[in-house]
Amino acid sequence: MADALLIDGKAFAAGLRGRVGEGVAALAAQGIAKPGLATVLVGADPASEVYVRSKGRTAAELGMASFDHRLPPETTQAELLALIGRLNRDPAVDGILVQLPLPRHIDTTQVLLAIDPAKDVDGFHPINVGRLGSLAPGAPLDFSVPCTPLGCSMLLGDALGPLAGRNAVVVGRSNLVGRPVAQLLLRADCTVTICHSRTRDLAALCRTADILVVAIGRPEFVKGDWIKPGAAVIDVGVNRVPVAEGKTRLVGDVAFAEARGVAGHITPVPGGVGPMTVACLMYNTLQAARRTAGLPFLAV
């Protein structure tokens, strides 16, 4: 069997960013203020700093306003909630992103609840989670959907076209990835199975999948012989593993070299799902700005 076609998330994300940039320019041409994204980082976690910097930089590259709020690690919950209140009221801010995880003394649920759902471009506010969980099949996604799952569904739609009737298996049930991915696949009329650490005979369930999405954070856990020949495999995992001479490399949750010989389509790691997250954040911010301006959803 020929090797799987690679799903090039890097190229798709670049195209999506370009279309979002055109959407931003179209707003300016109508005299509408540029979309504004506020990022909030509490503390100095190096990985979080990299993510936040890349979000702010990409927003600026696409012509958006970017407001960067860095707070010291000892920031109190009341201070953080006060900032979110100000951002909720600020008409220049269309999207608010609070970088997770937050320090342990802050109650993440209370913080997510405080964000105006209309500005919740991460899609983590319970109102937006509820909207996604109660969608009718094929209903419009006219609210913010979590960025990484949205990216997975865009890549699948681009690679496969309509997904109706396909058996989809999602491995992982986190609120960040697994659950929203499953909801999006259900919306696309797939028959969806959600697996987790207590699932019995995971390999056999994976072999039923026409679409296999893996988001568990276990390096190369899903083996080639777990994959149905011709299946589309979306590997969300990002794991840094040691290699020779003290160096490391990134691998996914799927044993790529084995899986590539069996699957029909597969995302590489890096260069698959990863680049879609920030691109979808920009997409969510543009859509939030359009809704605020009373403009309809823009298919990009």
Ligand X SMILES: NC(=O)c1ccc[n+]([C@@H]2O[C@H](COP(=O)([O-])OP(=O)(O)OC[C@H]3O[C@@H](n4cnc5c(N)ncnc54)[C@H](OP(=O)(O)O)[C@@H]3O)[C@@H](O)[C@H]2O)c1
- Identify which of residues 63 and 270 has a Cβ nearer to ligand X in the complex: 270
**121 contributes a contact to ligand X by CB under 6 A:** no
How do beta strands 191-195 and 211-214 pair? Answer: unpaired
**Comparing C-alpha atoms, which of 109, 101, 111, 115 is closest to residue 38?**
115
Which helix (H) or strand (E) segment holds residue 65: the answer is strand 65-71
Instruction: Identify which range of 15-23, 118-126, 171-179, 243-251 contacts ligand X by CB under 6 A.
Output: 171-179
User: Can 55 be counted among the known catalytic residues?
Assistant: yes
**77 contributes a contact to ligand X by CB under 6 A:** no
Segment 10 to 39, residues that bind ligand X, using CB under 6 A = none
Tokens representing 13 are 């994300």
CB of 90 to ligand X, least distance (A): 27
* Helix/strand/coil for 146: coil
Judged by CB under 6 A, the residue of 103, 217, 224, 261 near ligand X is 217
Judged by CB under 6 A, the residue of 115, 177, 222, 251 near ligand X is 177
- Identify which of residues 277 and 292 has a Cβ nearer to ligand X in the complex: 277
User: Can 122 be counted among the known catalytic residues?
Assistant: yes
Using alpha carbons, list the distances in angstroms from residue 222 to 74, 155, 229.
40, 20, 14
- Identify which of residues 106 and 176 has a Cβ nearer to ligand X in the complex: 176
User: How many other CB atoms sit within 10 Å of the CB of residue 279?
Assistant: 26
For the chain, how many residues are written?
Answer: 300
CB of 134 to ligand X, least distance (A): 22
CA 228 – CA 28 distance, rounded (Å): 48
CA angle (237 as vertex; 235, 238 as ends), nearest 5? 130
**152 contributes a contact to ligand X by CB under 6 A:** no
End-to-end C-alpha distance for the chain, whole angstroms: 35
Judged by CB under 6 A, the residue of 21, 56, 123, 178 near ligand X is 178
Write down the catalytic residue from 8, 94, 122, 210: 122
With the C-alpha atoms ordered 279, 238, 119, 99, is the resulting torsion angle positive or negative? negative
CB of 119 to ligand X, least distance (A): 21
Which residues contact residue 171 at a Cβ distance below 8 angstroms, ignoring those fewer than 6 apart? 178, 195, 196, 199, 202, 206, 212, 213, 214, 215, 216, 222, 253
Write down the catalytic residue from 55, 94, 183, 253: 55
Judged by CB under 6 A, the residue of 198, 200, 240, 247 near ligand X is 198
**289 contributes a contact to ligand X by CB under 6 A:** no
Write down the catalytic residue from 99, 119, 120, 287: 99
CA 165 – CA 188 distance, rounded (Å): 9
Which residue is listed with tokens 């543009």? 286
**218 contributes a contact to ligand X by CB under 6 A:** yes
Q: Which residue is nearest to ligand X (CB)?
A: 174
- Identify which of residues 35 and 178 has a Cβ nearer to ligand X in the complex: 178
Judged by CB under 6 A, the residue of 44, 197, 225, 230 near ligand X is 197
For ligand X, the binding residues (CB under 6 A) are: 148, 171-174, 176-178, 195-199, 202, 215-218, 236-239, 273-274, 277
Which residues carry out catalysis? 55, 99, 122
